[in-house]
Structure 1
Amino acid sequence: MTDSPIAFHLPFRSGLNPNLDTARAQHRTWADGFALFPDAETTRRYEAWDITRITGHCFPQATTDVLALLTDWMGCNLLCDDELDGPLGHSPVQGARFLDLLVNSVSAPPAQAPPTTNRYARASADVCARLRQRMSPVWYQRYAQHTNAMYAGFLRDMLHRHNGHILDPETLRLQRRDDIGVEPLIDFVEAALGFELPPRFHHTDEVIKLRAAVVDASTLINDAFSLAKERPLNDLHNSILLMEHLQGLDENAALDRVRTEVEELMAVMADTRALLPGLYTTVGLSDLQQKQADQFIDGMGTLLIGQHNAQVDSARYHSSVRVQHHLQTVR
């Protein structure tokens, strides 16, 4: 990993999963099974990203099998996101139908899923079937809600771009909370740690506030690392470029503003975490559940700094290496 001029200070423990090589091989076998790379050039470009390493930064605690599963999810959805940046996203009818297929892959039980030949929907359905086997129905319902919110965010983003809408900063913030896709990653912290916490923990104001802070900080950091590829497109769905456009700031001033916002979010997380011991007692967590809750909160911090380090580390975020678009008939 190299030093970056846009690096952020995040007060969390980082790590890198030691099982990268085996998980990477498992992921490649899985991706080949769904023909996610239709030609050698696409394969080369995708391999330059090293999605397994990105996932390994985010979930250093995961076993090999879980790391491979989470890499399958991340790789599939990054490819779907990129497809929507290409011709598919410029055809709202086709793009919307494609996103319906993805929602069906998450929501429909495997035996009831509508048949499809779309490679990405089939791959997504496989990942979801494996998550159903590994995690409880309660966990899966929460994960499905968050993943489908991401696809809804993809849809709204596609329509905003198609219609030439420039969003105000607050609307963009709410939009990015969905389409950044970090809420499912927070759910995956439990899968990586090998336990589940009860709904009464996840439904509290404190945990909701912590999750929102992680999502908002992830969005700002992603926008900073995406500047190089989004500035030539004048992509005002990047909050930093929107800030420059609306407030007349130059890049350095806008980045300083974003660093300040991230620091404020870190303060929110610290203040909120200080309230958790009392919360654990109030909602009746056992001693073991309290220990697991602390591990989960630590895992959220590791996820956040892991995303940061992955964006410093991966060619996806600091070069022009992109996967080519292969528009499939959506059915």
Structure 2
Amino acid sequence: MGDAGLVNGPGALEAFLRTVDHIGLAALTYPYAAGRSLDLAADTLGLAFVMDDQLSGPGERAPGLVARIIEDVTAVTTPVQGTTSAPAAPVRSRLLRRPTPFVRVWLRLWRELCEGMSPDWQARSARNWTDFFATFPVEDHNHRNGIYLDIDRYRALRRISVGVEPLIDVAERVGGFEVPARVQDSAWMRRLRSTASDVIAVVNDVHGVEREESHRDAHNLVLLLEHHGRLRRDEAIDEAVRMFDRQLAEFISLYEQVPRLCAPLDLTGRERDAVERFTEALCLWISGSYTWSVGTNRYALPTAQSA
């Protein structure tokens, strides 16, 4: 990230690596990946963290800057084995000739992520990354205008902004398998994925509440429960934990039904194995992100000495 111009300043890269530990998160959430595959997973997580810090973290930004950066990144997020839509083509051509730092890093990662993957996977992953990127301008707008979303609207946004959907696609790439499109497109698989996102989002919000409060960022479940329910901090956390318990129970129930839900799909042995590996990857993301959240320095508030 440092040599790409995304993390600048004396000691900035070292501080980023120390506080984020995206390499450790990759090892926890993709433990089956090795070599360059694990590096690719870590690099992808690293870019997601840099975007979170620079596009939604503290600090003043010119109006429209976040939207312009996201427009550029989205314009080049197209299937490698597909065609570019007409509206994005001129923008994409310009960016390929003169890429911005974000585009340069993302293009390299995106092309490598697509290597060896089917057009169906590339199209799905492109949609999921595009949806994730689109949450940054929304959150920037809300932050600038002091908007406190209601709980339902926030949870719908957070389900996407937590980034699990595109990052779980990465599991197939770095794990060397691919789930058939008819399984990924099924209602129960979409629900399993979204429920995993909900579970992970609550964990992140509970552990990150003080950090986001210090940034005056209202995109946090605990802060919104306090605001709308007029709850004390401990009461809001208790309610968030109850929501976590319900969502985790729903995930486990769906996970246990996967063999039955797959039965009508007439899957081959290899396809059944891919589904099993993918659902296990979801479990690993839940457990790995929890372990990382408990131990990371990312949510620690700066001390007077380190500020």
TM-score interval, smaller chain: 0.7 to 0.9
Contact 1:104–1:114, Cα closer than 8 Å, also in 2: no
Match of 1:11 in 2: none
Residue 225 (structure 1) aligned with residue 245 (structure 2) = no
Residue 35 (structure 1) aligned with residue 5 (structure 2) = yes
Unaligned runs of 5+ residues in structure 1 are 1-30, 322-331
Residue 114 (structure 1) aligned with residue 114 (structure 2) = no
Contact 2:79–2:122, Cα closer than 8 Å, also in 1: no
Alignment RMSD (CA, Å): 2.1
Distance 1:208 1:114, change over 3 A: same
SS in 1 for 2:11: helix
Alpha-carbon separation, structure 2, partners of 1:238 and 1:215 = 14
The within-5 A match list for 1:148-227 is 148-227=130-209
Match of 1:95 in 2: 66
**Aligned equivalent of 1:142, options 119, 124, 141:** 124
Alpha-carbon separation, structure 1, partners of 2:234 and 2:72 = 41
Query: What are the superposed Cα offsets for residues 237-268 of structure 1, whole Å, 9 maximum, x if unpaired?
Result: 11111101111221222112111111111211
Residue 244 (structure 1) aligned with residue 215 (structure 2) = no
Alpha-carbon separation, structure 2, partners of 1:295 and 1:108 = 24
Query: What are the superposed Cα offsets for residues 58-110 of structure 1, whole Å, 9 maximum, x if unpaired?
Result: 11111221111111111112111211135886423222111111112322759
How far the C-alpha of 1:113 sits from its partner, in A, is: 4.3
Q: Which amino acid aligns with 2:205?
A: D
> How many residues get paired?
291
Match of 1:78 in 2: 49
Contact 1:88–1:94, Cα closer than 8 Å, also in 2: no
Contact 1:225–1:318, Cα closer than 8 Å, also in 2: no
Q: Which amino acid aligns with 1:66?
A: S
How far the C-alpha of 1:278 sits from its partner, in A, is: 2.2
SS in 1 for 2:77: helix
Distance 1:132 1:51, change over 3 A: same
**Aligned equivalent of 1:53, options 20, 24, 45:** 24
Distance 1:254 1:238, change over 3 A: same
Q: Which amino acid aligns with 1:60?
A: P
Bigger shift: 166-175 or 188-197? 188-197
SS in 2 for 1:309: helix
**Aligned equivalent of 1:317, options 285, 299, 302:** 299
Larger RCO (alpha carbons 8 Å, 6+ apart): 1
Distance 1:128 1:233, change over 3 A: closer
In the TM superposition, structure 1's runs of 4+ consecutive aligned residues that sit over 6 Å from their partners are none
Distance 1:103 1:316, change over 3 A: same
Alpha-carbon separation, structure 2, partners of 1:147 and 1:320 = 31
SS in 2 for 1:106: coil
**Aligned equivalent of 1:65, options 30, 36, 46:** 36
Distance 1:197 1:264, change over 3 A: same
Contact 2:26–2:45, Cα closer than 8 Å, also in 1: yes
Q: Which amino acid aligns with 1:151?
A: F
Contact 2:79–2:123, Cα closer than 8 Å, also in 1: no
Alpha-carbon separation, structure 2, partners of 1:108 and 1:94 = 26
Alpha-carbon separation, structure 2, partners of 1:35 and 1:80 = 13
SS in 2 for 1:264: helix
Task: Calculate the TM-score normalised by the size of structure 2.
Answer: 0.88
Contact 2:80–2:122, Cα closer than 8 Å, also in 1: no
The within-5 A match list for 1:280-319 is 280-319=262-301
Query: What are the superposed Cα offsets for residues 210-261 of structure 1, whole Å, 9 maximum, x if unpaired?
Result: 1111111111111111112122344321111110111122122211211111
